[in-house]
Structure formats: C-alpha cells, structure tokens
Structure 1
Amino acid sequence: MATMVTVPTADDTTMPAYRADPADTPRAAIVVIQEIFGVNAGIRSKCDALAAAGYLAIAPDLFFRLQPGIELDPDVPEQLQQGLEWMGRFDQDQGIRDIEAAIRFARAAVGGGKVGAVGYCLGGRLAYMTAARTDVDASVGYYAVGIDGLLGEKHAIAHPLLLHVAGDDGFVDKATQAAMHAGLDDHPKVTLHDYPGEDHGFATQFGDRRSEDAARLADERTAAFFRDHLR
C-alpha cells in the first residue's frame, strides 16, 4: 500500500513524503533520498520495490521548501537542466535536518526499530552526510557526487555505509573517485564498490540512463547490505 503522508520537521513545518508499506509487519524502515529530479515515478518505484521486500519505505520531498511536488524526467534535456538549477538552490544542511525528521518518523512507524537510508546522485551525497550526521542504522549511496569534499566528516560515520561508484561517471571524475578510495578504503564502516565503464545514473529505475546488469548487481548488493544491518 502506498500513500502520500506529511512528516513533522524540526522547525514545525510539515514535509510531504511518499510512503510505501509492506503487506505484513515491516522488517525495518528505509528512507529513500531523491535525485535532483524530485520524488518522481522512479523514486516512488524504488519505494514500492522496498515495500515488496518487506520494508516500510519513506521518500521525503526534500525540495518542498523550494517548491513542493517537483517531478522531473532526466531523459528530457530541459528537465535535466531544471533539476541542476533546483540543486543549486537547495540547502543541503537543511536537507539533512529534514532527512533526520524522516528517520524519526520512520523509526516511530516501525515501533522503534531500525532505519536505513538509500540515496541516488544528490541523494547519494546526502546518504553519506546522513551517515556522518544522524543516527541512521545503515546507509547506501549510489553515484554520490562531491564526496571528496566531505571526507573531513568520515570520522563521524558510526554505522555501516555502502557506496556504489560509477567508473565513468560524468559528474564524478577519476580524481574524485581516487580521493574517495584513498580517504575511505580503510574506514571500518565504509564499503565502496566500483562499476567500471558505467555512467552516472546507471541504477535508475526507468529511462535511458539505466544499465541493466550493473543496476541489478548494485541492487543485489544493497539488498544484502540491508538484510545484514537492518535486522
């Protein structure tokens, strides 16, 4: 079952979120962190797949402070540009506070049980920041951007973090990927998986960016990661 809900935030506003519930008692909850394209059909489908796997899934509309209900298609050039413009206006620190509110909401919904987070693109970066700045139990980031600039926060990562790195990412160059490995390979809580030849967005649910074999492998690794750490 899926529905739109409102999540109370730390500053007494309410944040829209897409909620997908499993058929039976959830094994845990997972906060799904959007790309720059909003809580679009692909993100909602990610939530639905997690619910089918037994998790309560919550996708907060993190752009709601700019404009609620943004839904963009990355395969349409004009909409891709709009997404980049929204990202430029987005307050990431406020976004983490809103993700933390979604974590609290999700944890209450599963009776105080464990909560994970998974994010894509901008959401992958936010998943890293969530791991460093909140009490989330486990986090996954797909093709996270700008992690080299966040390595100073790695000491604060107390719970498991998995990062999927696209080898030919048009937004994350080879130098940045090397910096990620140099900074994180020896971290006891962090695992990086590389996908040689894959571009940014390879695990999108729909559309031209999807690379089927790599997406399936990354999603299988994510599923195993959450099975291990959200029980």
Structure 2
Amino acid sequence: MVTIDREAAPATAVAAVPAVLAALAGRPGAALTLGALPAAVALFFRDPDRSADRTPVADDDVVSPADGKVMYAGPGQDGVAPEGEWQQVSIFLSAFDVHINRTPYGGRLREVTYRPGKWLAAYTHESAHLNERTDLVVEREVAGRIRVVHFRQIVGLMARRVVTRVSAGEEISTGQRIGLMKFGSRMDVFVPPEVDLLVQSGARVVAGETVIARWPAADGAP
C-alpha cells in the first residue's frame, strides 16, 4: 500500500495556486495543465510499505535507510565520517526517489543531533559537513557486545528541510520510518570496520529492503 505523508499538505497547496488562478481567470485548459503540478508534488511525498514493515529484519543486517543510488561504499572518508574507524555507505536521492527515510539498524537512539547549514548539491563531498543535516546514532546489545551505527540525513540543492520524527532515548526497529527530506538529498551510513559491506558504488537501493551491510557471524550473534 502507498500513502501520502502529511508533509505533502502545505507543499501541495502552494503548488495548486497557479491552477486555481488560471481557473478563476477563465482559462480551463491552462488550469487543467497546471493541475498536474500539485499531483506531482503530492507524489513526491509517497510512502510505500516495505518488507521491513511486514517481516522483522535479522539482527546482523543493516538495511538501506533510503531509496536511491549508492555514491560511495568503502572506508570512512575524511571530513565525512565521524571520528574513529568507520566504513561508509553514501546514498544519493534524486527528486524522483521516495524520500521517506528509515533507520538502517534498530536499537536505542543514543543521539539525535540537528545541525543547520548550507544547501550544496548533495552529491558533493562538502555537503556531508556543510549542509543542513541530522546525525543519528543507534546502539544495540547483541550477545553481550554493543553494536553502534551512525547515520545522517543531509539535504541537498533542491531539498531545503530535513524532517526527523524520532528523539534520543527512543527504541526503534530496523527499517522503521524516521522522517524524510524534502526534494533531492543524501543519506550516509557508518558502520564499524568489522562489518561487511554488501553494496558497491552505482548500486540502486531500496529503503527498508536492501541489505547494505552485515555483521559477521563470528560477532556472536545467534
């Protein structure tokens, strides 16, 4: 099932203004044509169900937090990754992708930090630390060890607002909806070095379904 997120209402209302003005001016043809604009804006906020909504994700699996194309998968990049040793997966969302974001790994949200910033193109290296963004850190205990995943919502050139609907201290599940970014953006996921990355640059990924990384069995998971 596909629903429309509540954030669509104000944007769709603004997009409908030209069609309404054309109708009031007695130009039904133009009004009909312009009527496609609010429909397209509403479609941007579509929120389809995903497999994570129906079936629990395995403890070892890290899923994609967004629909889009993998820009980078490998060691944490300088100036992008948090301090410490990380592996990184960066996903670019075009304006045509579903923009509902999901958590890549379930557990307790240790940190949720919003940072205002610029609106550089999301595919640039600098956007990761200069653009408006929200950093989220989740931790989960498995077999007596604490696993930590850091992920980041980043707005882009077209996106002008990041929406995060979870707070520090909450318990969240893998693939759970956490918010969205408006109109073209980027998401980064950072996992520890011992985690196996399962995607490469250029791959298409689906939020809540594509497994992008996996903890090795030797980690002690059941």
Q: Normalised by the size of structure 1, how large is the TM-score?
A: 0.23
The structure with more radius of gyration? 2
Larger % of helix: which?
1
Larger % of strand: which?
2
Q: Normalised by the size of structure 2, how large is the TM-score?
A: 0.24
Structure having greater relative contact order (Cα 8 Å, sep ≥ 6): 2
